[in-house]
Amino acid sequence: MASWFGFNPKNDLAASNQAPGDAGAQAPLNMTPSPAGLSLYLDTQGLVTRIAGPLAARLAVTATQRPLNDYLCNSSALAADIPSYQQQLLELDFNGRGGSVITLRGWLQAYAEGWLLQLLDVSDLVEQARSSDLRRHVLAEAADFAQRLGYQSGERLQTATVEVLCELRQRLRIPSVAIALRDQAGEWRVYAQQNAYNSQAWRDEQALGRVFDDMSQASPQQLSALTLTKHPGLQVLFPQGLGFITPYQHQGVTTAWLLCAGFDAQLHAPALQIADWTRLFDQIGSALTGRIQALQQAHQQDRQSALQGLLGAGWWTFNSHDQRLQLAPELAATLGIEHAGELELSAWLEHIHGSDRDEFRVRLNRLVEGGHSFIQCLRLQVAGPCAGYSWYRLQALAKGVGKSLRIYGFLIDISDIKEQQAKASQAHERLSNLIASAPAVIYVQRHDDGALLLEFCSDSLQPLLGWSLAELQAGLLAEIVHPDDHEIFFDRARQLLRSGAVSCRYRLRDRQGQYHWLLDESKLLRDELGRPREAVGLWLDITEATLAAERIRESEERYRILVEDSPAMICRYLPDLTLNFANRPLADYLERSTEQLIGVNLGEWLSSEQRDAFAQRLLGLTPEQPISTAEICMQLPGREHAWWVWADRGIFDEQGKLVEVQAVGRDNTEVRKAQQQLFQGAKMATLGEMATGMAHELNQPLNVMRMAVANTLKRISAGEVPAEYLEDKLKRIEAQVLRAARIVDHMRVFGRRSEAEHALFDPMQAIEGAMSLLRDGLLGKGVELQFAPVDFRVRVSGHGDQLEQVLINLMVNARDALFSRLERESDFAPRIALSATLLPEGVLIEVQDNAGGIEPRLLERIFEPFFTTKPAGKGTGLGLSVSFGIIEQMGGQLRAFNREEGACFSILLPPALNPNP
């Protein structure tokens, strides 16, 4: 037998449907077939041989000679031993027409040579029991649902409601079920919903509008009469055309709805009447809405407590009979009051500042006696880390009279407001003082029938112009405007009325007849209809600023003329050498216009070595030492190299970063050419002075070769020329030839003109070259030449041949001084010592002799041009001067001083910034 809720009604109906006359449910043994009901005749094999009775027409199977189980539902199938069912009350479910089930009850008894199964229809009794059990189970589960919802947390409540709907849907086999509640805007919205597979009718949080509003006051019986056709609004809820709704009402107001889509309550749950559905949803809706309301109240109370704690606010009450005051817990905690915020009036007065205490006591007495409510701002003593007095706004009301008199109120912390008021008052006073003493005049003009009339001026008008407000109101203002500024002054009012704001400058005459430049800034104020009401503005004295700007403009004009007409080359460029300004002399020199040079990189006219040196020099600029001077070589296409003396000045930002460089340069090419010619002339003069020594140097190898040839010829004439002897003489002649060739080659290289630009070289090579030219000549004259080899290598920037020229000059001067002393002292041992030392500042080269030194009074002039201590005809006086210039161009220093045995010349050369180009 099919059971909708899974329960079996057989046990429930057995007691009330027993066979007549037998309390133990025993059927009579001999019973004639009943004309009502159904009679089945069976043979001894259990086959149905005959069917009789009015119920036979309702059976799905009416054919005979078939087993009894073919007529029964599977749930009522009987065992094969039919006689064993005799004398038992049987309740069987038969297959009816159209898939229906017919529940019949009866007895099996012996009849003729077989059996007779006589049955009566008990479907109504079974359905009644089933309905009763259904209602009992549904209401029991509704109570369980309500209990479960009643203790859920706010985070879990909606999920628990969905679970309840899921169980309800499965129990009643509803395709889609939902609960709708009102949101804060008063519209109905789906709170929770549950659906069978592929039958969703609503979305989570779906807005349902106000479709229930006109049904909220209807009774459940009235709602049961509504259909989709009678109420079109229900079509919105049930677009599929089938649905059922049940309200939950609290105190006559509907607060929730149960929605069942795809479900006909009368067809699918006929056992549940309208009252059953009402009781079902009353329990669920009551628990759900009650829990929501409780959670909202708890949340609101927590929020109110937190807000009162943040504001330092709260309620207070006063009992006039026992003179006791009660405070809100949050307020009591702020004020440091214990005992649950209850205290005597005298203790409360102790918390009030002495200046506000009497006023509060008087006002409270008037409230108690006459009911005069009041509001008072007073200072209360607070506890905690901010202990002290804070401002509070106290409100007090009274209700009732006599013994029913209730006094209550509210307190709120207004310390911030009081502090802001104090600051605003101070700021207003400072502003008033500032307006009165400032060079600006604040004015107000009233709009009157299209005209702006002066109505107010600040007190600074008198010190600034000397006129009074009354004099300006009498029409003087237009009279004291400078005649050249009349157009600006009169156009000001028209522009202000047209655009609502104006800013202009014009001159006004003061009482002494002097004109002042004033900046007039004004704004038009309008009323709520947009009509002009008044203009508020100020006159700011900008006379000094205007005159200063004029002077600056004139100064800039003079500066522009000076820069443009200056014969010097002036420019500005960025740290990456990009030009952003160039005057005309620089543009003419570079054969471009000033506009074409903007954005061009100055490095286009520099070699790679010059660019590196330029960049390194800019890196050395600092805010403390922003100036640098150098001589740079420019490579001009189609022209010879140009030499400029260049001075840079760095401009730095607030962080000390170089942002721009201002530079001034002049062409130094002719001077450089003259220096080069001077250096070359000095070099050739040195060669001239060395000619005698060079002749001696060349005579020595020639003499050796002549003697070797003479000896060889003698041996040849004697006929004795061994091969070994001849080979030895030829090798000696070859060595002397190579020696003479080296001397000639070195003299040729030394006499060559130096390159235009500096190059990197090893100073040790210059030392070795100078010594190779002079060593043999000095040794031949008896002068000892000393030099200790070094174990370092360093590179410097300049010309190696010029450094060699300097060293030769210094060694020749030392040689001449030594020969002078040797003439006076025949036993004197002359000596020249060279040394090279690597220092942090660079390489130090020293040339020292033991000739006795230089007179101190001559040391200061020794590097002057044409100054010499040699006899007439033996010196030009340019050697040391030229040497000084050469070392200076290399960025080094040449110094002369005396030591214990003689004079010492030192050369300090800085190392190259990029020793490995």
| Exposure of 533 in the CB half-sphere (CA atoms within 13 A) | 7
* Residue 664 confidence (pLDDT): 87
The DSSP secondary structure of 258-301, one letter per residue, reads: EEEES--HHHH-TT--HHHHHHHHHHHHHHHHHHHHHHHHHHHH
Question: Average pLDDT over the chain, rounded to whole?
Answer: 79
pLDDT tens-place string over residues 856-907: 878 877 877 666 666 544 555 567 877 888 888 888 999 999 998 999 999 9
Residue range 73-95: mean pLDDT, rounded:
83
pLDDT over 80 at 757, yes or no: no
Q: What is the pLDDT of residues 358-398, one digit of tens each?
A: 999 999 999 888 888 899 999 998 876 667 888 988 999 98
CATH for 733-909 is 3.30.565.10
What's the pLDDT score for residue 322? 85
Q: Does domain 9-121 sit in CATH 3.30.450.20? A: yes
**Range from 143-152, 549-558, 711-720 that averages highest in pLDDT:** 143-152
Q: What is the mean pLDDT of residues 346-352?
A: 89
Q: Name the CATH architecture for the domain at 566-667.
A: 2-Layer Sandwich (3.30)
Q: What is the pLDDT of residues 812-856, one digit of tens each?
A: 888 888 988 888 888 899 999 999 999 989 999 999 999 888 888
- From first CA to last CA, the distance across the chain in angstroms is 108
Q: What are the domain boundaries of the chain? A: 9-121, 129-299, 313-420, 437-548, 566-667, 733-909
CATH class in words for 437-548: alpha beta
d(CA 843, CA 793): 10
pLDDT (mean) for 329-351: 83
**pTM (2 d.p.):** 0.34
Of residues 434 and 534, the one with the higher pLDDT is 534
Instruction: Look at residue 459 in the predicted model and tell me its pLDDT.
Output: 83
pLDDT tens, position by position, 548-567:
888 877 776 777 766 776 77
Range of weakest confidence among 445-454, 666-675, 680-689, 746-755: 746-755
Q: What is the mean pLDDT of residues 739-744?
A: 62
> What is the amino acid identity at position 334?
T
Q: What is the pLDDT of residue 111?
A: 86
Nearest to 560 by CA among 588, 592, 591, 584: 584
More confident residue, 476 or 691: 476
What pLDDT does 516 receive? 92
CA distance 217 to 215: 6
Paired tokens of 140: 């029991």
Residue 506 pLDDT exceeds 90: yes
Instruction: Write the pLDDT tens digit of every residue in 774-789.
Output: 887 788 788 899 998 8
**3-state DSSP call for residue 574?**
coil
Q: Kindly report the CA angle at 789 between 786 and 792, in degrees rounded to 5? A: 145
Query: According to the model, what pLDDT value does residue 525 have?
Result: 92
Model pLDDT for residues 172-209, shown as the tens digit of each residue: 888 889 999 988 888 888 999 998 877 888 888 888 87
Q: Give the pLDDT confidence score for residue 735 in this predicted structure.
A: 65
Say whether 313-420 and 129-299 share the same fold: yes
Identify which has the larger pLDDT, 127 or 497. 497
Whole-number Å distance between alpha carbons of 289 and 293: 6
Contacts of 668 (CB under 8 A, 6+ apart): 631, 643, 644, 645
| Per-residue pLDDT tens over the stretch 222-273 | 665 454 445 666 666 776 777 888 888 888 788 899 988 888 777 777 778 7
Question: What is the number of alpha carbons within 13 Å of residue 88 lying toward its C-beta?
Answer: 9
Q: Which residues pair with 444 in a beta bridge?
A: 456, 536
In this prediction, residue 2 carries a pLDDT of: 25
Separation of alpha carbons 395 and 408, rounded Å: 8
Residue 227 per-residue DSSP state:
-
CATH 3.30.450.40 given to domain 129-299: yes
| Count of CB atoms situated within 10 Å of the CB of 489 | 17
Count of other CB atoms within 10 angstroms of residue 18 = 16
Which pLDDT does position 12 carry in this prediction? 35
Nearest to residue 313, comparing CAs of 413, 414, 408? 413
Q: Tell which wins on pLDDT, 908 or 300.
A: 908
pLDDT at res. 800: 81
In the predicted model, is pLDDT for residue 482 greater than 90?
yes
The beta-strand segments (E) located in 86-230 are 90-95, 101-111, 114-121, 176-182, 188-195, 207-209
Model confidence over 1-51: pLDDT tens digits?
222 222 223 333 333 333 333 333 333 444 455 556 888 898 888 888 998
Report the C-alpha gap between 821 and 825 in whole angstroms: 6
Phi, psi of 625 (to 5 degrees): -130, 80
Distance of CA 239 to the CA centre of its chain: 51
User: For residue 555, which amino acid is it?
Assistant: S
pLDDT in tens, 717-730: 777 767 777 777 77
**Distance in angstroms (rounded) separating the CA atoms of residues 190 and 558:** 84
Rounded to whole angstroms, the Cα distance separating 309 from 629 reads: 72
Q: pLDDT value at position 884? A: 84
Q: Is the pLDDT of residue 463 over 60?
A: yes
Of 78-92, 512-526, 872-886, minimum mean pLDDT range: 872-886
Q: What is the pLDDT of residues 156-170, one digit of tens each?
A: 888 999 998 898 888
CB 424 within 8 A of CB 411: no
Rounded percentage of the chain residues whose pLDDT exceeds 70: 79
User: From CA 194, how far away is CA 245, in angstroms rounded?
Assistant: 15
The answer to whether 754 and 799 have CB atoms below 8 angstroms apart is yes
Report, as an integer, the average pLDDT of 520-528: 91
Residue 214's pLDDT is 66
CB atoms within 10 A of CB 565: 10
The CATH H-level (homologous superfamily) assignment of domain 313-420 is: PAS domain (3.30.450.20)
pLDDT for position 353 = 92
